[in-house]
Amino acid sequence: MFRMQCFHVLARSSTKSHRWFSSRPIDAEALLSKRTWSVRSLLPSTDTTPDSPQVSSEQLHHLLRLSALPPPKDPSEEARMLRTLSSQLHFVREIQAVDTTGVSPLRTLRDETTEGEQRNEIGLAELKDALCGEDAVGKHHKRVRRRRDQDGQKTAAETWHVLGSAEKLIGKYFVVEGGK
């Protein structure tokens, strides 16, 4: 949604020229001094009663368990949690109300150009070294076997002291107490 906002701002500033980017210098400070949008518009106003479905106490406890968060200490804390959760859900519903037809969701910030995709493609060239680590075995019954003589050797990523930051150890194992 923010991407669409920026797009509109840019388009507005270059309505006279045919190029996307205007040749006139942009007065950034003047542009940014006026507030065009506030997140408060997505939060519920305190006087209106929410008509959307409420989160029940059981649902709250279920979510806290899933997230390994501590349960509320007393009913007033639970009421506070439910109120916060309710306004957060209102916010999420406002976001979900935006029309996203034809827009694929953003999963991760990455290079989405075709050149970027080509660079990230894993093909034969990238795996040539790995394929050299195999032997063609057998004259009659032809098979492939990965060479395993180097297996078990410590790589550069393994030279740190793995057990060093553990509070409790039994031999070379980390320890977790499973009892309640």
* Residue among 34 and 141 whose Cβ is closer to another protein: 141
Least distance between another protein and beta carbon 165 (Å): 8
- Other beta carbons less than 10 A from residue 43's beta carbon: 13
* Residue among 3 and 16 whose Cβ is closer to another protein: 3
CA distances, 156 to each of 19, 64, 69, 94, 101 (Å)? 51, 39, 36, 48, 47
* Residue among 31 and 95 whose Cβ is closer to another protein: 95
* Residue among 30 and 106 whose Cβ is closer to another protein: 106
Least distance between another protein and beta carbon 37 (Å): 25
Distance CA 177, CA 15 (A): 66
Selection from 42, 53, 45, 49 nearest residue 96 by Cα: 42
Distance CA 83, CA 71 (A): 15
Specify the DSSP element, H or E, that contains 135: strand 134-137
Least distance between another protein and beta carbon 69 (Å): 11
Distance CA 152, CA 146 (A): 14
Q: How far is CA 93 from the centre of its chain?
A: 19
* Residue among 80 and 110 whose Cβ is closer to another protein: 110
Least distance between another protein and beta carbon 64 (Å): 12
Pull the structure tokens for residue 98: 């935006």
- By the criterion CB under 8 A, which residues form the site for another protein? 66, 68, 105, 107-110, 117, 120-124, 126-127, 130-131, 133-134, 137-146, 150-158, 160, 162-163, 170-179
Least distance between another protein and beta carbon 61 (Å): 13
